[in-house]
Structure 1
Amino acid sequence: MSLAVRDAQLREMMDDPDCDPVRLRRTLQRFAITNRFVAGWGRTYRNLIAPALAALGRPATILDLGCGGGDVLRRVVHAARRDGFEVTGLGVDPDERAIATTRPMDAVTYRAADSRRLLAEAAAFDIVISNHVLHHLDEHAFDAFVDESASLATTLCIHSDIRRASLAYAAYAVGITPISPGSYLRTDGLRSIRRSFTPRELSAVLPLGWRVETSRPFRVLAVHRARHRA
């Protein structure tokens, strides 16, 4: 199978509102394991988020759009508070099944919502992040999500996703096997890679003001810095 062309027609099983709820819950809960090994948020925090927090020099808010089980936000907020930053986090996901699997902690809360609802509430956050959201979106939803997320961020917006590559596909197929039984982790993970962007493809669909960065061998970041809004 060739990964030379992005397969945007694939649909991930967990995106089906009628998918098996037990498998979905296991998938969302086990994201905490897979994200720690493949998502690269430790490096993204050190290189982008921590410097932005230091530059603010005041208490800050972080929003995680499409937070799923909420593990990425917990990790980022924990790292920030460990480093002495006064940070609070909000994770939102339009799927209430995902919110039901989250584990709130000190300074981190979750709710069922999306970027459009937050904008309607006139909400704003210093830093907006997402993990593995972009490849799920069709063209219209992608454009709206990117624009809305930039409008919500007063300082920095980071969308982290998979960088499509044959080696990433092969490595994931093998590495995920031990923890995938009873979940959608293997099937959907491989479909995610086939749906994901190369850096050049992502650059071509992002609007002006965004830049693409690579992080770790198989990660790609869409980064937007707000101007004169902080």
Structure 2
Amino acid sequence: MPDLRERATELRELMDDPRADLRLLERTYDRFSYVNAVVSRPGLVYRRDVRPRARRGPIRILDIGSGGGDLCRSLAAHLRRDGLRAEITALDPDERAIAWAEEHDEGAGIHYRAAHSSHLVAEGERFDVVLSNHLLHHLTGEELGALLSDSEHLVGDGGVAAHHDIARSRTAYAAFAMGTGLLSTTLLADSFIRVDGLRSIRRSYTAQELSAAVPAPWRVRTHLPARLELRWEAPHARS
């Protein structure tokens, strides 16, 4: 097992390489939904932050760094099941991810956009829920600060920003290595998920590190399995 005492920020994930094999990259997008259903628990995100707001009326949701769009599609499915309405925007600067996600929308009706969050800030956009999943560990300190600033500008009155990521630990690394090892020749074959997932854990924060890296009133919460949530809630009336 590698040394996990400090973040391995020098590691680069294979799917972030602009020259990455497109077939393997698209297979990775396709398989993410299976992994994230277990690891990221989108149902919990829906029940805690999306459904209570959507019950009061139609809402707007933004997923920053949406990748292949599996979180957005999951939220859309939950909303349809409950008869609730929301406009969902999947935002990612990687045009490869947006192109694949649009092609695999599966009737979810999500709005896909290849852009940075700063572009939406400049346009004066507002959302009730701003989310990200497995984005924080990709960012430099400067980029993290920009994400938090953009999130605060993009969240409307009474809304919430909730950025979710992996918590670095020996247990998380060992569990992911074992679980993906068993599936490496079947479900996860011909994808970057195993290699990039292990690199992601090594790049990720502990709860203490993330708390030290962000300003108040942002708060860090921990969830199972080995999850971090960086959270900020807007007041109900802002001048």
Q: Same fold (TM over 0.5)?
A: yes
Which residue number corresponds to residue 204 of structure 1? 212
Q: Against the structure 1 CA distance between its residues 10 and 82, is the aligned structure 2 distance closer, same or farther, given a 3 Å change threshold?
A: same
TM-score by length of 1: 0.93
1:8-157 → structure 2 map (5 Å cutoff):
8-54=9-55, 57-102=56-101, 103-104=104-105, 105-154=107-156, 155-157=159-161
- The letter for the 2-side match of 1:174 is M
Aligned to 2:100, the other structure's residue is in SS state coil
1:153-164 → structure 2 map (5 Å cutoff):
153-154=155-156, 155-164=159-168
What CA distance in whole angstroms lies between the structure 2 residues aligned with 1:34 and 1:117? 30
Q: Which runs of 5+ in 2 are unaligned?
A: none
Aligned to 2:190, the other structure's residue is in SS state coil
What CA distance in whole angstroms lies between the structure 2 residues aligned with 1:128 and 1:158? 6
- The letter for the 2-side match of 1:76 is L
Q: Is the 8 A contact 2:76 2:108 kept in 1?
A: no
Q: Against the structure 1 CA distance between its residues 50 and 215, is the aligned structure 2 distance closer, same or farther, given a 3 Å change threshold?
A: farther
Shift of 1:53: 3.4
Shift of 1:59: 1.1
What CA distance in whole angstroms lies between the structure 1 residues aligned with 2:120 and 2:6? 34
What CA distance in whole angstroms lies between the structure 1 residues aligned with 2:208 and 2:41? 20
Q: Against the structure 1 CA distance between its residues 229 and 125, is the aligned structure 2 distance closer, same or farther, given a 3 Å change threshold?
A: farther
1:218 and 2:226 correspond: yes
Which residue number corresponds to residue 169 of structure 1? 173
Q: Which runs of 5+ in 1 are unaligned?
A: none
User: Hey, which bits of structure 1, 4+ residues long, moved more than 3 A?
Assistant: none
Aligned to 1:101, the other structure's residue is in SS state helix
Shift of 1:195: 0.6
Q: Is the 8 A contact 2:49 2:129 kept in 1?
A: no
- The letter for the 2-side match of 1:40 is R
Shift of 1:164: 0.8
